[in-house]
Amino acid sequence: MFCITSINNKNFIMKKQKNDVLLKKLSWEEFNKLSPGKKIKFYESKGRIFDALYSQQFSRPLLEKLFAIATKIRFIAKEKPGLDWLQSLLSNKRAMLYFVQPSTRTFVSFQSACFILGMRVSEIRSTSTSSELKGETPEDTIRTFSSYVDLIVMRHFLEGMVEKSAWLLNNTKRPVRIINGGSGRDQHPTQALLDLYTLNYSFLMRGGIDNKKIAMVGDLKRGRTVRSLTYLLKHYKNIEIIYISPEYLKIEDDIKNFLKKNKMKYKETDDLQTALKYADAVYMTRIQDEYDINNESKDIDYTRFHLKYENLKLMKKDAIIMHPLPRRAEIDTAIDNDDRAMYWRQERNGMWIRAALIAYMFAIEDIILNFGENYSLKR
């Protein structure tokens, strides 16, 4: 039995090494054509995520581990001795926040997450202030960062640039970790993590996320957060997703195929009022008119997909309202003080779960999770 296991294990390792070598031999164009499932191993090292690029990289056990780390970090950071201790954990590491697309929450929450763990942070927020203005390619810019830092968090306007950067650095002698900070119309995986962490927190006393009905409202065609969140909801039992949008902004076929393949229940409608009576969570999104080709958003009556104060009476008493933010008029500000409004907490959760992700990627999660058992602070 032992021998068979060893042989199987050896075969597995040899096969994996062969696959890794084969993957490394591919050009970017060849590699990029592979499905996420085939590429995931290339973004791992020593059995853990090395580059966090898309939601499909997260399993349910890993999600639960990240929730536990985030909650523990939040608890430890409450008092100065705890925060001082956390800040010693990665004080030998440096991060580059390369955000050359607009961002408030993701940028500041990653910056804060790095501070919580003691990382030194550099930032570039526009290609007009980097040597890209002098003609340096984005690829050379990324490679330059890898000379100075241990982690790059990226939001880039070029489609696929985050993944290409990870591929590029993994083919050098000095790969550094990359996190997708929500690029272009690509995914926004850390937003999905904070959304899921918020759902988990909100439904803690109601059996968790399993069996919940989640309404996603608005621009589902171009909103990367609904895509990334849908991928993660696959890990939960008996979920039903209700997609509510104008005809032109319906969720796209690749996501519907994903839902069918994974036998996930979903409905599509443009009737927000009816869905509000039914949903346990209502996830609002703004119209993503920055991706318009011919100013087409101006012809869409998006007001039908706004949550108004008077709609609150339609909702379940214990339902929650979420929004990745920024918002325009999708949620009445009068709703902000309702107990069901979870979007400000959701925003703060971003900082904790991003700190948890960084802690996991640098393999310091056990020391955090064991805090209080193996470590005590002198107060």
DSSP helix/strand/coil, 65: helix
63 or 97: whose CB is closer to ligand CP?
97
In angstroms, give the least distance from the CB of 217 to ligand CP.
15
Give me the DSSP letters along 309-331.
GGGGGGS-TT-EEE--S--SSSB
Asked whether position 105 contacts ligand CP by CB under 6 A, the answer is: yes
In angstroms, give the least distance from the CB of 243 to ligand CP.
19
In angstroms, give the least distance from the CB of 159 to ligand CP.
17
In angstroms, give the least distance from the CB of 325 to ligand CP.
5
Binders of ligand CP: how many residues, by CB under 6 A?
10
In angstroms, give the least distance from the CB of 284 to ligand CP.
12
28 or 291: whose CB is closer to ligand CP?
291
Q: Looking at 53, 142, 321, 325, which residue binds ligand CP (CB under 6 A)?
A: 325
191 or 288: whose CB is closer to ligand CP?
191
Which residue among 39, 72, 93, 105 is the active-site one?
105
CB 181 within 8 A of CB 336: no
Asked whether position 228 contacts ligand CP by CB under 6 A, the answer is: no
Q: Looking at 326, 363, 372, 376, which residue binds ligand CP (CB under 6 A)?
A: 326
81-86 CB contacts, 8 Å cutoff, 24+ apart:
81/377, 81/378, 81/379, 82/371, 82/377, 83/116, 85/371, 85/375, 85/377, 86/116, 86/117, 86/118, 86/368
In angstroms, give the least distance from the CB of 132 to ligand CP.
21
Taking contact as CB under 6 A, which single stretch among the options 49-57, 168-176, 203-211, 320-328 is the one that binds ligand CP? 320-328
Is 134 annotated as catalytic?
Answer: yes
Is 354 annotated as catalytic?
Answer: no
- Sign of the C-alpha dihedral, residues 247, 187, 267, 281? negative
Is 74 annotated as catalytic?
Answer: no
Using CB under 6 A, which residues numbered 182 to 221 contact ligand CP?
182, 191
In angstroms, give the least distance from the CB of 112 to ligand CP.
13
- Cα–Cα distance measured from residue 377 to residue 88, given in angstroms and rounded to the nearest whole number: 13
Which residue among 155, 213, 221, 306 is the active-site one?
155
- Cα–Cα distance measured from residue 44 to residue 177, given in angstroms and rounded to the nearest whole number: 10
- Sign of the C-alpha dihedral, residues 259, 265, 271, 272? negative
Asked whether position 331 contacts ligand CP by CB under 6 A, the answer is: no
Give me the DSSP letters along 249-304.
GPPPHHHHHHHHHTT-EEEEES-HHHHHHH-SEEEE----GGG-SSSGGGGS-GGG
CB 21 within 8 A of CB 336: no
CA nearest neighbour of 223 among 186, 271, 272: 186
164 or 188: whose CB is closer to ligand CP?
188
CB 72 within 8 A of CB 371: yes
Which residue among 134, 173, 174, 263 is the active-site one?
134
Q: Looking at 8, 88, 92, 104, which residue binds ligand CP (CB under 6 A)?
A: 104
Q: Looking at 55, 56, 57, 106, which residue binds ligand CP (CB under 6 A)?
A: 106
Asked whether position 246 contacts ligand CP by CB under 6 A, the answer is: no
CA nearest neighbour of 70 among 362, 358, 377: 358
Is 106 annotated as catalytic?
Answer: yes
- Cα–Cα distance measured from residue 366 to residue 368, given in angstroms and rounded to the nearest whole number: 5
Q: Looking at 324, 331, 357, 365, which residue binds ligand CP (CB under 6 A)?
A: 324
Asked whether position 288 contacts ligand CP by CB under 6 A, the answer is: no
Is 340 annotated as catalytic?
Answer: no
In angstroms, give the least distance from the CB of 326 to ligand CP.
6
The alpha carbon of 291 is separated from its chain's Cα centroid by a whole number of angstroms, namely 20
Pairing of strands 44-45, 48-49: antiparallel
- Which residues have a Cβ under 8 Å from the Cβ of 182 and sit 6 or more positions away? 103, 106, 155, 188, 190, 191, 224, 225
71 or 191: whose CB is closer to ligand CP?
191
Q: Give the residue numbers annotated as catalytic, written as ranges.
A: 105-106, 134, 155, 188
Interface contacts to ligand CP, rule CB under 6 A: 103-107, 182, 191, 324-326
